[in-house]
Amino acid sequence: MPSSSSSTRPRATWGLTLAALGTLLFLHVPMWIIFLYTLTPDETTYTFPLPGFTTKWFGVALQRADLWRALTLSFQVASIATVAALILGTLAAAAVYRSNFFGRESISFLLVLPIALPGIVTGIALRTAIGGLDIPFSFWTIVIGHATFCVVVVYNNVLARFRRTSATMIEASMDLGANSFQTFRYVVLPNIATALLAGGMLAFALSFDEVIVTTFTAGQQTTLPIWIFSQLSRPRDRPVTNVVATIVILITFLPIFFAQKISADASDTEGETK
Amino acid sequence: MLNRISTYFYQRPKLVLAIFLTPPLLYMVVVYLGSLFSLLINSFFAIDDFTGMVIREFTLKTYLQIFTPANREIFMRTATMAFLVTIVDALIAFPLAYYIAKFASPKLKTWLLIAVTIPLWSSYLVRVYAWKLILAKEGILSWFINLFHLTGALDWLLSLPGIGGSSLSLSPIGMFIVFVYIWLPYMIIPIQTALERVPGSLLEASSDLGAKPSQTFRTVILPLAFPGVVAGSIFTFSLTLGDFIVPLTLGNSKFFIGQAVYSYQGTGGNIPLAAAMTMGPVVIMVVYLLIARRLGAFDAL
C-alpha cells in the first residue's frame, strides 16, 4: 500500500522493537550454530568453544554412499510429489475459484486437514491402509503420502492468485475471440505462473524435509530426513550429521526464499503465506 | 476443431467443474479419507495376547486400554505440553507480529515476513538438531550459563522432579524450549495477518475518542488479533500433540502421545492400539478446528 506513507506510520516503542528483534534472533541464531559446528574437529561431543577448526568433514560426507542414496531418494520423492501437488492443487483451486457449488467450503477443509491434523495421524492412517491392503512399502507409498499434504500448499498459492486476477481479463480474452485453450495459454497461465512456481517450490521443500509421515510409509527405505532422524536419537556420525544438516538448510533455503519473495511481490503488503 | 471443443466445454460448465474437481477430490477422498477410515476401523480391532496377531473383529477392548493410568498420564502430559507451548508461543510471537503488521515500512515488512517464513518452511529436523547442539551438557548454552555464574540455578532447575533431567538436552524443559522454537513461526504469521486487517482508521478513531495507547491496545487491537492467535494455536497445539521426533530426541522414558503411537506400531507391533491412541488427537483437533472456524480463525490462515 503506497498510500500509507512513513509520516503517518506510528513509531514503535523501544520495548516493542527490542522484543521483536529478540524473537527474530531466537528464530535464526540456532541455525547458524550448525554452520559453526561443521568446522569442529571434535568427533564425540558438542564442546563449546570449538577445540579447533577443520574443513575435513565436508570431504568425509561426500564419500558416504549411504548419504548419496538417501539424498537421491529424497530428491526423487520430492520431485514427483511436487508434480502431483501442482496438478491436483491447481485443478482444485480452479474449480473453487470459477464456480459456486454445493460443498465448496468443505474442499478447503478437506485439503487443509493433512497439515492441520498432527502428522502422526496421517502417518499411522496411511500405515494401516497400506498394511490392510497388503501393499508392499515402496517409493510410491512415500510419494502418495507426501502428495496428500503438498496439495494444499499449491492450492492456497494458486487460489490466492486467482482471487487477485480480475475476471474481466478472462472475459476480455473470450470476447476478443480466443477460445478457452488460448485464454488459458495466453491469459490464465502467465498470470498464475509465479504462483505455481512458489507453490511448487514450497511443496518441494515440504516433501524434501518430511519425516513424520515418511517414517510410517517408507518401510526400510532411508530418505535424507530419516537418515538425520536416526542420528538424532543415536548419534554415531556427529561431524557428518552437522555437514548434512548444513546441506539440507542450503538446499531448502533457495526455493523457500524465492517462493516467499514471489508471494511477497505478488501480494505487495498482504501477509500471505500458507 | 479446438474451437469446437472449446465451445462444447464452454456451454457445459458443470462438466468442466467435474473434470477439474474429480482428480483432486478422488485423490483426497480415496487416499486420505480412506486411510483415516482404515485408521478408525483398526482402532476397533485388537491383537491376540498370545500370538500378537491382529484379530479383525469389532471390539472396544483396545479403546479400554487407552484409559489405563499409564496412557491417561501420557495424554495429560502431552496436552499440558501442547497447551504451555501454545501460550508461550503466542506471547513471544505477538511483539514481532505486531511490529511487522503496524510499524514496519513496506520494504522492511517484506524482508521481515521472509525472515519469519524461512524457518517455517525449512527443515524441521535440522532445527531440532540445532538445539541438540545448543542444549548439550558441554554445549554453547551451558558455556554462557557458566559465564554468568548461573550453573547452580540450572542444576537446581534440572533437579526438579517432573521437568528436570540429566541435562537440558535430555529433559522436559529442553523439549519445551525446542517445541516453542520450532512452532513459533506458525504463530507469528496468523497473528500478523489478523493485525494487518485492523484498519488504521479504527486506531485513530479510538485515540480521537480519548483512549490512551494502552487502552486502544487492550480494547481494540487485542480482540481483533484474537482470531489470529486461535489460528496460530491450531498449528502449535496440533503439531505438539502429534510430534514424536522431539520427545524421542530430547525426552526420557516418560512417553508423549506421538512417541507412544510410534512405539506401539513399531517395536510393539500393536497397530490397533496405535490407531486407538491416535484417535485422541484426531477428536481433539476436529473439535478444535470446528470451534476455530466459528471464531473466524480460518480467515486469518
| pLDDT reported for residue A262 | 82
B132 and B152 in contact (C-beta within 8 Å)? no
The model's confidence at residue A271, banded by pLDDT at 50, 70 and 90, is very low
What percent of chain A shows pLDDT beyond 90? 33
Q: Is A99 touching B (CB cutoff 8 A)? A: yes
- Average pLDDT over all residues of chain A: 85
Amino acid at A149: F
| pLDDT reported for residue B229 | 92
- Judging contacts by C-beta atoms under 8 Å, the chain A residues touching residue B292 are none
A257 and B274 in contact (C-beta within 8 Å)? no
- Judging contacts by C-beta atoms under 8 Å, the chain B residues touching residue A122 are 32, 35
Parent domain of A65:
30-267
Q: Is A176 touching B (CB cutoff 8 A)? A: no
**A214, pLDDT greater than 90:** yes
Lookup: cell for A212: 513424520
Q: Say whether B123 and A23 touch across the interface (CB within 8 A).
A: no
A16 is a domain residue? no
A129 and B34 in contact (C-beta within 8 Å)? yes
The per-residue DSSP string of A89-158 comes to HHHHHHHHHH---TTHHHHHHHHHHHHHS-HHHHHHHHHHHHHHTTPPP-HHHHHHHHHHHHHHHHHHHH
* CA gap B283, B103 in Å, rounded: 39
Tens digits of residue pLDDT in A88-141: 999 999 888 877 777 777 888 889 888 878 888 999 999 999 988 888 999 999
* CA gap B256, B262 in Å, rounded: 10
Task: Please give, rounded to a whole number of angstroms, the shortest distance from the CA of B133 to a CA of chain A.
Answer: 6
The model's confidence at residue A270, banded by pLDDT at 50, 70 and 90, is very low
A85 is a domain residue? yes
| pLDDT reported for residue A272 | 41
A242 is a domain residue? yes
Kindly report the number of other CB atoms within 10 A of residue B49's CB atom. Answer: 7
Nearest CA in chain A to B249: A233
Q: What domains sit in chain B, N to C, each tagged with a CATH number?
A: 68-300 (1.10.3720.10)
Nearest CA in chain A to B240: A118
Nearest CA in chain A to B193: A271
* CA gap B239, B186 in Å, rounded: 10
Q: What is the CATH number of the domain that holds A78?
A: 1.10.3720.10
Nearest CA in chain B to A110: B28
Tens digits of residue pLDDT in A18-50: 999 999 999 999 988 988 888 888 877 788 788
First to last CA, chain A: 21
* Closest Cβ opposite residue B123 in set A12, A209, A215: A209
Strand ranges inside A118-256, DSSP E: none
| pLDDT reported for residue A8 | 59
A115 and A199 in contact (C-beta within 8 Å)? no
Task: Please give, rounded to a whole number of angstroms, the shortest distance from the CA of B295 to a CA of chain A.
Answer: 15
Tell me what the mean pLDDT of segment A181-210 comes to: 88
Query: Residue A211: what are its φ and ψ, rounded to 5°?
Result: -125, -35
Q: Say whether B122 and A101 touch across the interface (CB within 8 A).
A: no
A235 is a domain residue? yes
A19 is a domain residue? no
* CA gap B47, A248 in Å, rounded: 40
| pLDDT reported for residue B177 | 95
The total domain count for chain A is 1
The residue whose grid cell reads 532411508 is A222
- For chain A positions 206-235, those within 8 Å of chain B (CB to CB) are 206, 208-209, 211-212, 215-216, 225, 228-229, 231-233, 235
Q: Say whether A215 and B262 touch across the interface (CB within 8 A).
A: yes
| pLDDT reported for residue B298 | 67
Tens digits of residue pLDDT in B87-143: 999 999 999 999 999 899 888 998 999 899 888 888 888 899 999 889 988 888 888
The residue whose grid cell reads 540450572 is B154
Q: Say whether B132 and A232 touch across the interface (CB within 8 A).
A: yes
Give pTM, 2 decimals: 0.86
> What's CA B212's distance to the chain center, in Å?
36
A74 is a domain residue? yes
Say what the ipTM of the complex is: 0.85
Cis peptide leading into residue A49 (ω within 30°):
yes
Q: Say whether B95 and A126 touch across the interface (CB within 8 A).
A: no
Q: Which of A18, A34, A35, A46 to mutate to test the interface with B (most CBs of B within 10 A)?
A: A46
Q: Say whether B103 and A269 touch across the interface (CB within 8 A).
A: no
Lookup: cell for A227: 537418515
Q: Say whether B126 and A28 touch across the interface (CB within 8 A).
A: no
Q: Say whether A33 and B140 touch across the interface (CB within 8 A).
A: yes
| pLDDT reported for residue B301 | 56
A196 and A116 in contact (C-beta within 8 Å)? no
The model's confidence at residue B11, banded by pLDDT at 50, 70 and 90, is confident
A15 is a domain residue? no
The model's confidence at residue A6, banded by pLDDT at 50, 70 and 90, is very low
* Closest Cβ opposite residue A271 in set B128, B192, B235: B192
A58 is a domain residue? yes
Tell me what the mean pLDDT of segment A242-252 comes to: 87
SS (H, E, C) B175-193: HHHHHHHHHHHHHHHHHHH
Burial class (CB in 10 A: 0-12, 13-18, 19+), B139: buried
* Closest Cβ opposite residue A264 in set B114, B235, B248: B114
Lookup: cell for A86: 501442482
Q: Is A188 touching B (CB cutoff 8 A)? A: no
* Closest Cβ opposite residue B184 in set A4, A27, A126: A27
